[in-house]
Structure 1
Amino acid sequence: MPAIDHKQLVAALLPAVLTAGAIEMRHYREGCAVESKADASPVTAADREAEAVLVAAIAAAAPGIPIVAEEEVAAGRIPALGSEFFLVDPLDGTREFIAQRGEFTVNIALVRNGAPVFGIVYAPACDELYVTLAPDVAAMAKVAPREGPVTLDEIGLTPIRTRTPDPKALVALVSRSHATPETEALLAQFAIASRTNAGSSLKFCAIARGAADIYPRMGPTMAWDTAAGHAVLAAAGGSVTTLDGKPLRYGNSMATLCNPNFIAWGTPQPLAPRI
């Protein structure tokens, strides 16, 4: 496989990402009907319209690479997958979107041989963009949703890194909409000084920019929910592991695109519990 030119790929996809954000913010302000999918999760016109823009842009920028997009999958349109494919969640955090909380994101990831090697996360209500610029370089920018051409130079990306955690005073992030007793039991194994509830893949990005240390997720997620944030966090110096400390991997079948329970860390390796 050819090496990934991260900057070139970010530049090619950026207009579509910001356009998807603009579409979502229009629906966010005006309101839109909410439907339930077969798995009882919510979906809106904002999800579908944003996804169409993103899928078209990815197909043009990287022809021939399969694209697994959440709403396409929900409609039964699932491509044959090999060792390389894109994952798209056009609106991660639909519950936060519906509740007018603003913590929702546009997610694009490229997976190679089970690992997320490229990622874009955009939070249009927060004007926050996170991208990978190299395997070990992540960056962010404050950029409002917009339609039309845009360049990387215009948005002023700034590199981000995870911080060195204090194992006696960790900062934890917890899913706002999916807290569980199992999450509480896991966090009890560590010295947590403070915790914040948050939605969508912004939790990965907060750790990536050094604002938190640990995010456990004990409950069902899909690869398109996590891979983009995972890629950004890994490029910033962090990691995502299963509960036994092994790297979280993404398989190339629908069955293996269902994530196990995992923990996102602000360190390359998992931290040792205190008990």
Structure 2
Amino acid sequence: MSIAPSPLMQDLIRLALAAGREIMAIYATDFSAKAKEDLTPVTEADEAAEKIILSGLARIDASTPVISEEAAAAGRIPEVSERFFLVDPLDGTKEFISRNGEFTVNIAKVQHGVPVVGVVYAPALRRAFWGEAGVGAAAGTLAGDDSVNWLPIRVRPCPPDGAKVVASRSHRDQATEDYLKGINVKSLCSAGSSLKFCLVAAGEADLYPRFGRTMEWDTAAGHAVVAAAGGRVMTIEGQPLTYGKRQRGYDNPGFIVSA
């Protein structure tokens, strides 16, 4: 049984696919990377994809402010209140640079601190995911003409013989290792970018712990997909992960993604 995205979601999917095409065009070249002020890498693909998404969002919903990673890194962060977009035009820049394919385009809409709409697109894998509160979550693989047959996804109950855990490929830390020692782990796999959220949402993994630093634009789209698929994103203290944390510089605390 297929599932149909809402008109807003269709617009956001089109934007994500357009950004993905630009990213893949640059991926095929001998691109270079530079370091931002926080020493994280950025490429021309990050900047080109962001330009496409910001231009598109201005056409779709000009009244809703947008916080986007590269603009934020340059100090361009608008005042936001109960409704705003969060964008990571190229989540997993390290994966992009290493050419392992595990990078995504992330677009989310937040209302009252909760990501209610999100699309995650992995252009190298041609796999896309979306989630919308009150509608559901879906995944699909792009055909040659970029058409997608969207199939509903849902988190799965954790198997009694242990969890399949997905962890960061580029940001594993001792806190994660210590946490894993205290739970029943059947298998452990690594993935880059917001694909980790999507694997849990699709029932392909049971748990994603993240104790290292993330920003709101890293997580909002994947969070929306997980929530719409019936999952949870909770802080280490057991509270729902929320958005619009200007006083923290839009920095997330550690969190755990689960069914």
Q: TM-score, normalised on structure 2?
A: 0.94
Aligned to 1:226: 219
- Deviation larger for 187-196 or 244-253: 244-253
Give CA-to-partner distance per residue, 1:218-264, whole Å, 9 cap, x none: 11100000010000001001010001211111125262510001111
Aligned to 1:186: 179
1:240 maps to which of 219, 224, 233? 233
Secondary structure of the structure 1 residue equivalent to 2:58:
helix
Give CA-to-partner distance per residue, 1:51-95, whole Å, 9 cap, x none: 010111112111210000101111111111111110000000000
Distance 1:184 1:176, change over 3 A: same
Q: TM-score, normalised on structure 1?
A: 0.89
Secondary structure of the structure 2 residue equivalent to 1:182:
helix
Distance in 1, Cα, partners of 2:94 & 2:104: 11
Distance in 1, Cα, partners of 2:107 & 2:41: 20
**Residue 215 (str. 1) matches residue 208 (str. 2):** yes
**Residue 55 (str. 1) matches residue 54 (str. 2):** yes
**Residue 78 (str. 1) matches residue 77 (str. 2):** yes
Aligned to 1:112: 111
Distance in 2, Cα, partners of 1:71 & 1:55: 11
Aligned to 2:198: 205
Letter in 1 for 2:174: P
Letter in 2 for 1:93: G
Distance in 2, Cα, partners of 1:145 & 1:16: 18
Distance in 1, Cα, partners of 2:102 & 2:91: 9
The Cα shift of 1:15 comes to 2.4
The Cα shift of 1:143 comes to 1.2
Instruction: Point out 4+ residue stretches in structure 1 off by more than 6 angstroms.
Output: none
Give CA-to-partner distance per residue, 1:162-187, whole Å, 9 cap, x none: 11112431000010000011101111
Distance 1:251 1:167, change over 3 A: farther
Distance in 1, Cα, partners of 2:76 & 2:143: 32
Secondary structure of the structure 2 residue equivalent to 1:24:
helix
Distance in 2, Cα, partners of 1:182 & 1:45: 33
* Aligned residues: CA RMSD: 1.7
Distance in 2, Cα, partners of 1:172 & 1:16: 31
**Residue 250 (str. 1) matches residue 249 (str. 2):** no
Structure 2 unaligned segments of length 5 or more: list them.
none
Distance in 1, Cα, partners of 2:20 & 2:214: 22
Confirm or deny: 8 A CA contact 1:241 1:248 kept in the other structure: yes
Letter in 1 for 2:226: L
Sequence identity percentage: 46
Letter in 1 for 2:246: S
Letter in 2 for 1:223: E
- Deviation larger for 248-257 or 187-196: 248-257
Letter in 2 for 1:208: A
